Amino acid sequence: MPDTRPITTATIESMATQFLGLTISPANAGATADMLNALSADMQALRALPLGDVEPATTFAAAEGQP
């Protein structure tokens, strides 16, 4: 997998304006960028796991009797 580039505050502000027609404060844009960068780092770590041909779980029940 290629390395990802960090998501910047400017990127979030631009996307909010161009795609949603919204103005977002620099503080909110920065917080959103931080959250997305953390999520991206988590996904990169998962991609690096040596899972081979392991099939993904199709269902998950946190407690017995839960759907």
Residue ranges per structural domain of the chain: 1-36
CA distances from residue 55 to 15, 20, 45, 52 in whole angstroms, order as listed: 35, 37, 18, 9
CB 35 within 8 A of CB 55: no
Phi, psi (deg, nearest 5) at residue 32: -65, -45
The reply to whether the predicted model has a pTM over 0.85 is: no
pLDDT (mean) for 51-61: 77
Buried b (16+ CB within 10 A) or exposed e, 7-43: bebeebbeebeeeeeeebeeeebeebbeeeeeeeeee
Tens digits of per-residue pLDDT, 5-36? 999 999 999 999 999 999 999 999 999 999 99
How much is the pLDDT for 14?
A: 97
pLDDT (mean) for 38-51: 90
